[in-house]
């Protein structure tokens, strides 16, 4: 697959099952733990469980807007995409990221012996019992997990980046984009629609900018 096909596949298959409730830190580094579930391409009927953390922090030097730094996403190793080409791909499509450093660290890669829906139920219940409001639960395709994690980050950045008054003004639009949880909800199932997903993500990020 080329980068366009990979991005469209991620938009089609990514589901944010349980978003992070807590907003991003304003002045300190934010740690975004996540659990990414995908159907195994090797053992049919099993689920790949990828656990990791994204550290969102300000770069050491002040950068112009829309110059994000992505580290640890294995774009070059897994998808043969270098960072400059990735930034250009997003830029020409009007998808902008704040100029922050996004450092992904995969902590474990395991297999859940069961179907994807069972794995979602198991991990969702586990996070609920632990009252974990920091860890995101995301579903997608394993071969484009990088883009699915970026979609998860998009939702967190948009949710945390708008000032209070701007949030009130844009609240109904952000909910319509299916990237944010309802106020007061601990979690809810969110599915990115197949059509217009790219436009919705683009508009979300533009609102932040």
Local confidence band at 109 (pLDDT 50, 70, 90 cut-offs): very high
User: What is the predicted pLDDT for the residue at 60?
Assistant: 64
Percentage with pLDDT > 90 across the chain: 43
Token pair, residue 196, equals: 């217009």
Q: What are phi and psi of 116, to 5 degrees?
A: -60, -45
Q: Which residue would you say has higher pLDDT here, 17 or 202?
A: 17
pLDDT, tens digit (0-9, with 9 covering 90-100), for 38-54: 999 999 899 999 999 99
The winner for highest mean pLDDT among 39-53, 56-70, 97-111, 153-167 is 39-53
Local confidence band at 59 (pLDDT 50, 70, 90 cut-offs): low
What is residue 33's three-state secondary structure? strand
Token pair, residue 78, equals: 């897994």
User: What is the predicted pLDDT for the residue at 181?
Assistant: 43
Local confidence band at 161 (pLDDT 50, 70, 90 cut-offs): low
In the chain, where are the structural domains located? 3-208
The burial class, CB within 10 Å (0-12 / 13-18 / 19+), for 130 is exposed
Q: Position of tokens 């979609």?
A: 151
Q: Which residue would you say has higher pLDDT here, 90 or 188?
A: 90
Q: Which residue would you say has higher pLDDT here, 104 or 171?
A: 104
The burial class, CB within 10 Å (0-12 / 13-18 / 19+), for 129 is exposed
Q: Are strands 47-57 and 30-39 parallel, antiparallel or unpaired?
A: antiparallel
Tell me the CA distances in angstroms from 22 to 97, 185, 186, one per residue in order.
20, 12, 10
Separation between Cα atoms, residue 4 and residue 66, nearest integer Å: 20
What is residue 47's three-state secondary structure? strand
State whether the Cα torsion 58-60-64-68 is positive or negative: negative
């Amino acid at each position: 697959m080329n980068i366009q096909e990979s991005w469209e596949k991620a938009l089609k298959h990514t589901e944010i099952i349980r978003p992070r409730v807590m907003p991003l830190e304003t002045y300190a580094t934010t740690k975004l733990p996540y659990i990414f579930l995908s159907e195994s391409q090797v053992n049919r009927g099993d689920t790949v469980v990828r656990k990791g953390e994204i550290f969102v922090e300000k770069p050491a030097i002040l950068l112009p807007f829309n110059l994000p730094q992505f580290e640890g996403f294995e774009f070059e190793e897994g998808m043969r995409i270098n960072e400059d080409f990735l930034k250009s791909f997003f830029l020409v499509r009007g998808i902008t990221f704040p100029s922050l450093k996004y450092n992904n660290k995969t902590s474990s890669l395991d297999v859940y012996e069961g179907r994807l829906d069972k794995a979602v139920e198991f991990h969702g219940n586990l996070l609920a019992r632990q009252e974990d409001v920091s860890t995101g639960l995301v579903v997608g395709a394993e071969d484009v997990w990088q883009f699915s994690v970026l979609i998860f980050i998009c939702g967190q950045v948009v949710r945390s980046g708008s000032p209070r008054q701007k949030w009130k003004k844009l609240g109904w639009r952000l909910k319509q984009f299916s990237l944010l949880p309802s106020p007061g909800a601990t979690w809810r199932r969110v599915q990115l629609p197949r059509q217009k997903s790219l436009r919705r993500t683009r508009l979300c990020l533009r609102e932040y900018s």
